[in-house]
Structure 1
Amino acid sequence: MSKQIHLGEGEPVVPAGGAPIGLDKKPNRKLKKKSFWKRVKSQKALILMALPFVIWLLVFKYIPIAGWVMAFQNYKPQNGFFNQEWVFLDHFKELFHEPMFYRALENTLGMGILGIVFGTLSAITFALLLNEMRFVWFKKMTQTISYLPHFVSWVIVANIVTTMLSQEGPINTLLMGMGIIDNPIGFMSNPDMFWGIVTVSDVWKETGWNAIIYFAAMAGVDPQLYEAAKVDGASRWRQMWHITLPSIRPVIIVLLILNIGNLINIGFEKQMLLGNNIVADKALVIDLYALNYGIGMFRYSFGTAIGIFKSVVSIVLILIANGFAKRVGEGRVF
């Protein structure tokens, strides 16, 4: 039997080398509750500041998820939300048996992958070059000018691209003047060129804006690393490759995960404005497919099924990209 120490009359029994017997653990819980509410009170200003954004998130992002029910109904607006015919997975079966859906999926993934690859590479390269500039005034001017296309509407960008690539436009005129081609090229009427035109247009419009976060990450790199590299005789190219890029690797991985998650959510504005009847097969993306063959034909349930498919694919892509990033993070990338 273990020895017990009696502290006195009315005092709890304490085993040798142990805690008092019979003490209630509720005071610890009360202390935790008090400390929790104490932290809440100390941060009430921050909580109040965040509250409007939380409400916005609930109202515009989470409550609309209830509308997913329409994908499992034969939704008719005149019948009300709760008086609909249930068809369960019929709309999904119809979606996966549509050849046009697979064409839209192929175009979406193709342009999405091209956008991620060339968009990321162009933004990182532009940020690296901008970071290496020694003329501060020229760096600031270039950085400001590079932001401007981001704020230009896709309607205006599409008109600029169409004018530049028309058969009488500057591009054909320049190529013919240099003797590279004899006859004008129909850029906008060639389906094989459509993905490239969309990608180049998007890169031109968004490179400066996407480079902001990379440039900010580069500004946080310890200057002593560059000084040590100079002492060791490293060239500016070596400094970029062995110091700058590894230092911003976490930012690159996070942005890649976010971009991969939005791979299937590339929108439809670019494709709709730059497309025409000749390149319609290459311009059809999932969002445009949902608009034309879902909402445009009053097939609300079918359009909702397309939206659910996009959401599920985005979640799966984020999980895959996040798992891959964790594995890559254990080793060297550069």
Structure 2
Amino acid sequence: MTMLQTAPTALHGPVCVVGSLNADLVVRTERLPRPGETVEGGPLRVTSGGKSANQAAAAALMGAAVRLVGAVGDDANGTVVLDQLARAGVRLDAVARRSGVPTGTAVVCVDSSAENLIIVSPGANGTLTTADVARAREAIAASRTLGLAFEVADDVVLAAARIAREESVTTVLNPSPYRQPSAELLSLVDVLVLNEHELADVLGRSPLDTSWAECGREVFDRFGVADVVVTLGGEGAVVLRTTAAGTAVEEIAPTPVEAVDTTGCGDAFTGALLGGLASGLDLVGSARLASLVGAYAATGEGAQASYPRPEDLASLAVTPSHG
């Protein structure tokens, strides 16, 4: 790997993330169980998680000014989640605490090859409403980028995207856990971040049977989304930018690391992308930074606990340039 002489510069831009907060119940095991099988696991750890909370933490740890909009229960797990996010630097004044409702929970099993199996119980995430989003208009409007994912209700995601469009805020959608985004939601999205399987689902075919440029053109022609970032796990990422003149394809090389746990790596990528765009990096530069952050996250256990600060990336690869 190419060594940096200095650590990547900390981000600084304002980011808002609307969505889920979970308590992750994580256990490691030699291999993932088959249906009906019981396997022995190691000690149980309870940490802060949830796709949106993970993305917020990743951006904040890299220096971005992040506000999170969501809900947790008035329980011990909610306290664990909020305390860890606060330590990461996430502003939490728009996170509600719901009485009598458990905090969202994800049961995470990680095997010896760093693959994982995750089951999510929505809990308080299921109580987030469009009224909560409306009350958070100022938080969205004060940001340069808005991060959205699919662990909360469709109408909540759409309401946030509408406000972002009205306030000229760049909306980044990560349609995960996957369900087909509505045509209206996609019309409000500026950057679509998804993996190969999700891209195939968006386009209605699997596997993908056309070039990256043709995929980018199809997303643009059908849904109006000009900028697409496709994450490829250990193979890096691809940035697709489409205009009337055609689709530019930029491949982001992978960063070689010794993977320990891939839980939350995609969220780390998306959070860093949000922070990069909010801080003045162009889309390709933001994706390069995001690839470093996602790779670093794979070297530690858990989601947020494995996310880097800028100085942690000094040993990885090339610092992205401003565009």
TM-score by length of 2: 0.24
TM-score by length of 1: 0.23
- As a proportion of its length, which structure holds more strand? 2
- As a proportion of its length, which structure holds more helix? 1
